[in-house]
């Protein structure tokens, strides 16, 4: 495994578990502890991690923007469960919008064999995933490529989304908080998600358990602004009450 691939895997573990240990990583990747320490030093210099005695923790800043390829590897099982739940909400003939998140990419993968579904997306990965789907209509937003997230953003993409009215939008986020609402790490991504929400009759937030009780950089919406939330685990009593208060259906 190349060093850059190993660091990407370490970042995925950090995002999922919030912390890592040098000794455990050394065994996992079959390299020396000194090699792992150098990996963690590089991740710290890049602003993703903070070294601790014997390991490192994920850097807790509200505008931390983790690359798509790293996010894609994190909590794969949870994202698969979310995708299956979301797919049960999509009917043949629906027109839907999908954002550029790694969680929503799992939904796209399950749409390949659906019939007469129209998908509008700003995600490069979704466009590639559905390129050979025989019975889907796939529409790109166009816009400016944001390589970090493999997404299309900017005024042209937002303008294009505002031209449509769709049945459902599936979007993800970086944080969910009862008071601060739904938040993201990047302003351009937020504007795309807001445009998708405005275009949809029903908006679903697809968010795994690592997003709960977190606040990120930019507010996307209040909880009351969405219709449903799709997660992999039953929410806590506090979150169930928040969903009831805001008329959100939990899936």
Q: What is the pLDDT of residues 90-118, one digit of tens each?
A: 999 999 999 999 899 999 999 988 989 99
Q: Look at residues 34, 60, 86 and tell me which one is the last residue of a structural domain.
A: 60
Verify that 145 and 127 share a domain, yes or no. Answer: yes
Verify that 50 and 164 share a domain, yes or no. Answer: no
Q: What is the CATH number of the domain that holds 21?
A: 1.10.10.10
Verify that 54 and 101 share a domain, yes or no. Answer: no
Verify that 42 and 75 share a domain, yes or no. Answer: no
Verify that 144 and 172 share a domain, yes or no. Answer: yes
Q: Look at residues 15, 39, 60 and tell me which one is the last residue of a structural domain.
A: 60
Residue 230 contacts residue 169 (beta carbons within 8 Å)? no
154 phi and psi angles, rounded to 5 deg: 100, 180
Higher pLDDT, 94 or 73: 94
Which two structure tokens, joined as six digits, stand for 166?
């769709």
Strand partners, 121: 98, 140
Which two structure tokens, joined as six digits, stand for 179?
């008071």
CB count within 10 Å of CB 207 equals: 25
What is the structure's pLDDT at 3? 82
Verify that 104 and 221 share a domain, yes or no. Answer: yes
Mean pLDDT of the chain: 90
Above 60 in pLDDT, residue 72? no
Q: Look at residues 12, 38, 60 and tell me which one is the last residue of a structural domain.
A: 60
Q: CA triplet 146, 204, 15: central angle to 5 degrees?
A: 55
Verify that 32 and 97 share a domain, yes or no. Answer: no
Domain count, the chain: 2
Higher pLDDT, 1 or 223: 223
Report how far residue 150's alpha carbon sits from residue 129's, in angstroms, rounded to the nearest whole number. Answer: 13
Q: What is the pLDDT of residues 167-198, one digit of tens each?
A: 999 999 989 999 999 999 889 999 999 999 99
What is the structure's pLDDT at 68? 59
Verify that 49 and 130 share a domain, yes or no. Answer: no
Q: H-helix or E-strand containing 48?
A: none
Report how far residue 144's alpha carbon sits from residue 152's, in angstroms, rounded to the nearest whole number. Answer: 5
Above 70 in pLDDT, residue 65? no
Q: What is the pLDDT of residues 203-222, one digit of tens each?
A: 999 998 888 998 888 999 99
Verify that 45 and 106 share a domain, yes or no. Answer: no
Verify that 105 and 188 share a domain, yes or no. Answer: yes
170 phi and psi angles, rounded to 5 deg: -115, 115
Cβ-proximal residues to 246 (8 Å cutoff; 6+ apart), any chain: 222, 223, 224
Q: What is the CATH number of the domain that holds 150?
A: 3.40.50.1360
Verify that 24 and 110 share a domain, yes or no. Answer: no
What is the structure's pLDDT at 62? 54
Verify that 114 and 188 share a domain, yes or no. Answer: yes
Cβ-proximal residues to 166 (8 Å cutoff; 6+ apart), any chain: 95, 96, 97, 118, 120, 199, 200, 201
pTM above 0.85, yes or no: no
Q: Supply the range of the domain harboring residue 184.
A: 69-250
C-alpha distances (whole Å) from 44 to each of 11, 40, 52, 64, 94 are 11, 6, 11, 12, 45
Q: What is the pLDDT of residues 44-62, one digit of tens each?
A: 887 778 888 888 888 765 5
């Amino acid at each position: 495994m190349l060093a850059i691939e190993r660091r990407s895997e370490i970042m995925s573990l950090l995002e999922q578990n919030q912390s890592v240990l040098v000794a455990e990583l050394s065994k996992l990747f079959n390299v020396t502890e000194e090699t792992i320490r150098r990996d963690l030093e590089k991740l710290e210099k890049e602003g993703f991690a903070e070294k601790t005695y014997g390991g490192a923790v994920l850097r807790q800043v509200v505008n931390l923007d983790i690359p798509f390829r790293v996010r894609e590897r994190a909590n794969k099982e949870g994202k698969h469960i979310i995708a299956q739940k979301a797919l049960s909400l999509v009917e043949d003939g629906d027109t839907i919008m999908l954002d550029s998140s790694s969680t929503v990419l799992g939904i796209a993968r399950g749409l390949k064999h659906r019939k007469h579904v129209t998908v509008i997306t700003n995600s490069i990965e979704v466009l590639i995933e559905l390129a050979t789907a025989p019975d889907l209509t796939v529409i790109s937003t166009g816009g400016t490529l944001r390589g970090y997230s493999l997404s299309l953003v900017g005024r042209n993409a937002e303008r294009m989304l505002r031209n449509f009215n769709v049945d459902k939008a599936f979007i993800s986020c970086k944080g969910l908080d009862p008071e601060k609402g739904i938040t993201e790490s990047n302003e351009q991504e937020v504007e795309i998600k807001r445009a998708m929400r405005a275009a949809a009759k029903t908006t679903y937030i697809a968010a795994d358990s690592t997003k709960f009780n977190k606040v990120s950089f930019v507010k996307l919406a209040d909880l009351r602004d969405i219709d449903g939330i799709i997660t992999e685990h039953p929410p806590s009593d506090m979150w169930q009450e928040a969903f009831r208060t805001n008329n959100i259906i939990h899936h």
